[in-house]
C-alpha cells in the first residue's frame, strides 16, 4: 500500500513539472509574438499620443480663456490693450520669498552646469524691492519687466557663466534663476529672463544685417573647429553632416550634462546670429521701450539668448547676448579655438501674469511712478 502511494505521488510531481515547462514555453511564445508584432511599442506610442493630445487640448483651452480674458473690461490685459494702463506703467508686484532650500538647489544647479563654481548665496540675493512695469500683452496675458536689472555686484543677483558648459546651459540657467527668485505662485503663469526677441519685436528695423553686415551669413572656419554640444541642436548650424533643427537662439528645453573636455568637428559650418548696436529711442516703434530696455543707467544684464560670431575663415565665437547702458552687445563664453571665457552680468526678469488678473480700483493710482503704482486685486 505504501509503495503504491509513493508511486502515485511521483507521477503527480512529474506531471506538475511538465505542466510548468509547457506554460513557460507558451508564455515565451506569447511574449515573442507580442514583441514581433511590435505591440509593446504600439501601446507606448498610443499612451504618448494620448498624453500629447491632452496637453494640446489644455493648451487650446488655455489660449481660448486667455483670449476671452483679454476682452473682459475688468482684466488688466484689457486695460493695457485699450491704453487705459499704458506700456511702462508701474505695477505693484511682490514675488514669493524664495526658501533657503530653493536657493540652495539653484546654487547647486548653477555650480553643476554653468562652467563656474562662483555662483553663491552672495551673488544670488533676491531683491524684494525691485519695481515692476508693464512690458506688453502676449496671448492675453500681461507681462511685467523689472524697472531695472538686478543690482548685481552690490546687493542683488548676477550670474557667472564660463566656457562651453556656460554656453550650452546659459539660456535655461538664466531663466531658471529668474523663475526661482521672482515667481509668485498665486498670480503668475511664467517667469523668465528678457530675450533678444523681446527687444526685436519692438524695433522698427527687422533686417538685422542692415545693422551688422555679417548677420545671417554662413561661414566655414578652416583652422579651428571646436564646438559646444548644444550647437548640434541649434537651427541652421552644421556640425559635420548634422544640421540643427530643434532650438532657436532663446530656447533650451533641458540642461546639458557638463564635460571636462570638448569636441572637435571635421566640418563646421556656422551661421552668424549676432548683431550689435548703440540703440536710440527712434529705433523703437514706441520710444517707451528704449526707456524700458536701454536707458536705465544701471548694470549690464544678460539676455537669455545665445549668439554665434564669426572671425571669417578662422574661428567662431559662442556668446550670449547682453544689454549695456548704451545698447545691444554680448558676453563671451567660448570659441572654436577651444578657449574659455568668463563673464558675469545681472539678470532682467520678465513676469507673465495670469490672464484673469485685475487691478484694485479702490486704490488711487496712475502708474506713472513707483509711489503711485497700480495695485493688483
For the chain, 377 residues long, the average pLDDT of each consecutive 10-residue run is: 45 75 75 61 62 58 53 83 97 96 96 95 91 96 96 77 97 98 96 98 97 95 94 97 97 94 92 96 96 83 97 90 94 96 96 96 93 95
Please report the DSSP string for 223-268 in residue order. S--EE-GGGGTBTT-EETTEE--SB-TT--SSPPPP-SS-EE-S-E
How far apart are the C-alpha atoms of 318 and 249, rounded to whole Å? Answer: 12
Are the C-beta atoms of 170 and 161 separated by less than 8 Å?
Answer: yes
Cell numbers for 291, please give them: 526707456
pLDDT digits (tens, 9 = 90+) for 210-256: 999 999 999 999 889 999 999 999 999 999 999 999 999 999 999 99
Cell numbers for 122, please give them: 552672495
| CB-based burial, 265-293: b 16+ in 10 Å, e otherwise | beebbbbbbbbbeebeeebbeeebbbbbb
Angle at 71 between CA 70 and CA 77, to 5 degrees: 35
| H or E element, residue 309 | strand 301-311
How far apart are the C-alpha atoms of 151 and 127, rounded to whole Å? Answer: 8
φ/ψ (deg, to 5) at 154: -85, -70
pTM of the model: 0.81
In whole angstroms, what separates CA 313 from the centre of its chain?
Answer: 32
Q: Enter the DSSP assignment of 182.
A: H
Beta bridge partners of 138: 141
Q: What is the pLDDT of residue 49?
A: 64
Helix (H, G, I), strand (E, B) or coil at 77: helix
pLDDT digits (tens, 9 = 90+) for 32-91: 665 666 655 665 566 666 656 665 655 555 555 555 555 566 899 999 999 999 999 999
| CB-based burial, 323-346: b 16+ in 10 Å, e otherwise | beeeebbbbbbbbbebebbebbbb
Sequence-ordered alpha helix ranges (H) in the chain: 2-36, 39-71, 76-82, 100-113, 163-182, 196-201, 288-293
Q: What is the pLDDT of residue 72?
A: 60
Cell numbers for 332, please give them: 563671451
How far apart are the C-alpha atoms of 319 and 338, rounded to whole Å? Answer: 13
Name the pairing type of β-strands 374-375 and 90-92.
parallel
Name the pairing type of β-strands 374-375 and 188-193.
unpaired
- Taking the CA atoms of 246, 345, 255 and 98 in sequence, report the sign of the dihedral they define: negative
Question: Under 8 Å CB-to-CB from 285, ≥6 apart: which residues?
Answer: 202, 203, 204
Amino acid at each position: 500500500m505504501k509503495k503504491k502511494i509513493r508511486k502515485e505521488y511521483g507521477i503527480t510531481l512529474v506531471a506538475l513539472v511538465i505542466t510548468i515547462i509547457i506554460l513557460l514555453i507558451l508564455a515565451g511564445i506569447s511574449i515573442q509574438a507580442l514583441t514581433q508584432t511590435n505591440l509593446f511599442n504600439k501601446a507606448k506610442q498610443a499612451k504618448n499620443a494620448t498624453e500629447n493630445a491632452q496637453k494640446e487640448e489644455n493648451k487650446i483651452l488655455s489660449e481660448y480663456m486667455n483670449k476671452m480674458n483679454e476682452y473682459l473690461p475688468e482684466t488688466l490685459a484689457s486695460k493695457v490693450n485699450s491704453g487705459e494702463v499704458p506700456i511702462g506703467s508701474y505695477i505693484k508686484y511682490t514675488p514669493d520669498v524664495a526658501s533657503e532650500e530653493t536657493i540652495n538647489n539653484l546654487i547647486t544647479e548653477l555650480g553643476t552646469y554653468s562652467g563656474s563654481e562662483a555662483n553663491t548665496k552672495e551673488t544670488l540675493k533676491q531683491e524684494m524691492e525691485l519695481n515692476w512695469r508693464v512690458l506688453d500683452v502676449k496671448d492675453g496675458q500681461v507681462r511685467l519687466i523689472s524697472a531695472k536689472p538686478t543690482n548685481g555686484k552690490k546687493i542683488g543677483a548676477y550670474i557667472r557663466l564660463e566656457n562651453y558648459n556656460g554656453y550650452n546651459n546659459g539660456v535655461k540657467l538664466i531663466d531658471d534663476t529668474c523663475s526661482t527668485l521672482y515667481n509668485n505662485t498665486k498670480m503668475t503663469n511664467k517667469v523668465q529672463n528678457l530675450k533678444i526677441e523681446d527687444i526685436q519685436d519692438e524695433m522698427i528695423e527687422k533686417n538685422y544685417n542692415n545693422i551688422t553686415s555679417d548677420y545671417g551669413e554662413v561661414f566655414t572656419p578652416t583652422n579651428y573647429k571646436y564646438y559646444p554640444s548644444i550647437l548640434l541642436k541649434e537651427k541652421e548650424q552644421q556640425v559635420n553632416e548634422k544640421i540643427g533643427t530643434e532650438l532657436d537662439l532663446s530656447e533650451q528645453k533641458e540642461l546639458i550634462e557638463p564635460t571636462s573636455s570638448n569636441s572637435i568637428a571635421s566640418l563646421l559650418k556656422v551661421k552668424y546670429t549676432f548683431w550689435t548696436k548703440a540703440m536710440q529711442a527712434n529705433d523703437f516703434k514706441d520710444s517707451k521701450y528704449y526707456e524700458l530696455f536701454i536707458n536705465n543707467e544701471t548694470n549690464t544684464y544678460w539676455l537669455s539668448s545665445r549668439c554665434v560670431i564669426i572671425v571669417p575663415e578662422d574661428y567662431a565665437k559662442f556668446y550670449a547676448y547682453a544689454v549695456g547702458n548704451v545698447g545691444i552687445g554680448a558676453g563671451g563664453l567660448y570659441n572654436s579655438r577651444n578657449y574659455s571665457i568668463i563673464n558675469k552680468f545681472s539678470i532682467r526678469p520678465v513676469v507673465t501674469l495670469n490672464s484673469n488678473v485685475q487691478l484694485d480700483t479702490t486704490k488711487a493710482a496712475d502708474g506713472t511712478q513707483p509711489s503711485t503704482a497700480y495695485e493688483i486685486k
